[in-house]
Amino acid sequence: MYNEYITQIKNELINIPDGILFEQTYPCIDTPVCSEHLDTLPNGKGKKISWKLLTGITIIFQDYLAEQISCNHKPEKELLEINYCRYGRIGWNMKNGRSIYLGPGDFSLHTRQLCAGSVMTLPSGHYEGLTVCIDLSQFDQAPPELLRGTKITGQMLSEKFCSRGNFSLLTGNEKTEAIFSGFYNLSENLRKQYFILKSLELLLYLSEFKITSGKEPGKYQSEQVEIIRQIHDYLLQNINHRITIEELSKQYLMNPTTLKSVFKAVYGDSLAAHMREHRLEKAAILLTETNNSISQIAKAVGYTSQSRFSTAFHEVYQMLPLEYRRIHSNIH
CATH of the domain at 43: 2.60.120.10
My answer on whether 190 and 314 are in the same domain is: no
The reply to whether 88 and 188 lie within a common domain is yes
Q: Are residues 66 and 187 in the same domain?
A: yes
Which of 67-76, 229-238, 292-301 shows the lowest mean pLDDT across its residues?
67-76
- Residues 171-179, mean pLDDT to the nearest whole number: 90
315: in domain: yes
Mean pLDDT (the chain) is 86
pLDDT at residue 205 tops 90? yes
Q: Domain boundary residue among 180, 202, 217?
A: 217
Q: Are residues 58 and 144 in the same domain?
A: yes
The per-residue pLDDT for range 13-53, each reduced to its tens digit, is 999 999 999 998 886 655 555 567 777 787 899 999 999 99
Is pLDDT at 214 greater than 70 in this prediction? no
Number of domains within the chain = 3
Owning domain of residue 233: 219-268
Residues 88 and 133 in one domain: yes
Q: What is the pLDDT of residues 75-96, one digit of tens each?
A: 778 899 999 999 988 988 776 6
332, pLDDT greater than 80: no
Q: How far apart are CA 163 and CA 153, in angstroms?
A: 15
Instruction: Identify whether 233 is part of a domain.
Output: yes
Q: Is residue 79 one of the residues assigned to a domain?
A: yes
**pLDDT score recorded for residue 2:** 44
Per-residue pLDDT, 72: 72
62 plus 155 within the same structural domain: yes
Residues 212 and 159 in one domain: yes
Are residues 212 and 226 both part of a single domain? no
The predicted pLDDT at position 95 comes to: 67
Looking at the fold, whether 203 and 69 belong to one and the same domain comes out as: yes
pLDDT category of residue 216 using cuts at 50, 70 and 90? low
Residue 274, domain member (yes or no): no
For residues 147 and 244, membership in a common domain is answered with no
Helices (H), 209-330: 222-237, 245-252, 256-267, 271-289, 294-300, 306-317, 321-328
Q: Which of 228, 247, 268 is the last residue of a domain?
A: 268
Indicate whether 305 and 249 sit together in one domain. Answer: no
Q: Which of 43, 99, 69 is nearest to 227 (CA)?
A: 99
Eight-state DSSP code of residue 14: T
> CA angle at residue 99 from 96 to 105, to 5 degrees?
130
Is 273 contained in some domain?
no
| pLDDT at site 212 | 64
CATH number (domain holding residue 330):
1.10.10.60
36: left (phi over 0), alpha (psi -120 to 50) or beta: beta
Does residue 120 sit in the same domain as residue 225?
A: no
Q: How far apart are the first and last CA of the chain?
A: 25
Q: Is residue 191 part of a domain?
A: yes
Give the separation between CA 311 and CA 300, rounded to whole angstroms: 16
Give the C-alpha separation, 257 to 162, whole Å.
Answer: 29
